[in-house]
């Protein structure tokens, strides 16, 4: 009974004083909280328009003066020699134009071997080449020797005359027809033939080996060189 009377008195007091459950006035601003985490990186923006081209920069400093080149006068160098590149090219073209007129032509470096694929004696071969303003073929190295044998194709047991001295007593078949020492040879085993005491003519076979024969009237291929 007393408890009910006390509760009733409190309600009356609250009504008399105008107290209610409405929120009170806003309190003072508190301190800033700690920084938050970084957000997700956004997408790239749209490229902007190209800017205006800037002005040209100032010219650079002059370079170092180079070493003077060789003086060329009238197509010759200071020693009076014709410029090699042009002259070499002209000679090569002239050789090629001449070589292609033959049934067989094969170059080895700056040299050409040419032939009408005719055959005859050694003396006929020398004479024919001379009439053409050329010389009988004489390989000066392994490459030239191999290129000369391409004349034979698939033929076997074929020979071609080469420009080696025919007089054993004058050079033991170790010089050309101008008596200049051979700088290359490819003698077959047992060659030059020691049994040949005087005249002997040299041929090259389809295998590229050289041999001397005492019978210079044999029909062998005639090949010239230019």
pLDDT tens-digit series, residues 18-37: 544 566 788 888 888 888 88
**Residue 164 reports pLDDT greater than 70:** yes
- 88 touches 96 (CB < 8 A): no
For residue 41, is it within any domain?
Answer: no
Judged by average pLDDT, the poorest of 32-36, 148-152, 175-179, 184-188 is 32-36
Residue 219 sits in a domain of what CATH number? 3.10.100.10
For residue 163, is it within any domain?
Answer: yes
Domain housing 118: 105-225
Dig out the tokens for 145 from the structure. Answer: 């020797």
pLDDT of residue 121: 97
For residue 196, is it within any domain?
Answer: yes
- Percent of the chain having pLDDT more than 70? 77
**Residue 163 reports pLDDT greater than 80:** yes
Classified as helix, coil or strand, 95 is helix
For residue 31, is it within any domain?
Answer: no
The H-assigned helical ranges of 38-161 are 84-99, 122-131, 142-149
Report the alpha-carbon distance of residue 50 to residue 72 in Å, rounded. Answer: 52
Report the alpha-carbon distance of residue 216 to residue 5 in Å, rounded. Answer: 164
- 118 touches 127 (CB < 8 A): no
Domains identified in the chain, total number: 1
Dihedral sign for Cα 160, 164, 169, 171, please: negative
For residue 46, is it within any domain?
Answer: no
For residue 165, is it within any domain?
Answer: yes
**pLDDT averaged over every residue in the chain:** 82
| Confidence tier at 6 by pLDDT (50, 70, 90) | low
**Residue 183 reports pLDDT greater than 90:** yes
Place of tokens 């609250």: 14
For residue 125, is it within any domain?
Answer: yes
Report the alpha-carbon distance of residue 19 to residue 22 in Å, rounded. Answer: 9
Residues 6+ apart with CB under 8 A from 144: 108, 109, 111, 113, 184
pLDDT of residue 74: 46
pLDDT of residue 115: 96
- Percent of the chain having pLDDT more than 90? 44
pLDDT of residue 130: 96
**Residue 7 reports pLDDT greater than 70:** no
For residue 53, is it within any domain?
Answer: no
| Confidence tier at 9 by pLDDT (50, 70, 90) | low
Report the alpha-carbon distance of residue 196 to residue 213 in Å, rounded. Answer: 8
* pLDDT tens digits, one per residue of 106-150: 999 889 999 999 999 999 999 999 999 999 999 999 999 999 999
Classified as helix, coil or strand, 120 is strand
Whole-prediction pTM: 0.61
* pLDDT tens digits, one per residue of 148-158: 999 998 888 89
């Amino acid at each position: 009974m007393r408890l009910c009377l006390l509760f009733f008195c409190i309600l009356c007091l609250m009504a008399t004083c105008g107290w209610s459950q409405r929120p009170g006035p806003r309190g003072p601003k508190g301190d800033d909280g700690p920084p938050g985490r970084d957000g997700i990186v956004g997408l790239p923006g749209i490229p902007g328009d190209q800017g205006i081209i800037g002005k040209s920069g100032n010219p650079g400093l002059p370079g170092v003066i180079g070493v003077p080149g060789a003086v060329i006068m009238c197509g010759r160098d200071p020693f009076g020699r014709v410029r090699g590149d042009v002259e070499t090219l002209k000679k090569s073209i002239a050789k090629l134009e001449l070589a292609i007129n033959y049934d067989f032509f094969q170059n080895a470096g700056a040299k050409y071997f040419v032939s009408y694929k005719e055959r005859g004696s050694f003396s006929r071969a020398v004479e024919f080449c001379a009439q053409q303003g050329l010389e009988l073929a004489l390989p000066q190295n392994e490459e030239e020797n191999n290129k000369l044998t391409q004349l034979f194709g698939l033929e076997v047991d074929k020979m071609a005359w080469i420009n080696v001295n025919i007089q054993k007593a004058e050079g033991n078949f170790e010089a050309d027809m101008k008596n200049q020492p051979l700088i290359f040879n490819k003698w077959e085993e047992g060659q030059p033939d020691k049994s040949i005491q005087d005249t002997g003519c040299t041929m090259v076979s389809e295998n590229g080996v050289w041999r001397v024969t005492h019978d210079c009237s044999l029909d062998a291929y005639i090949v010239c060189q230019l």
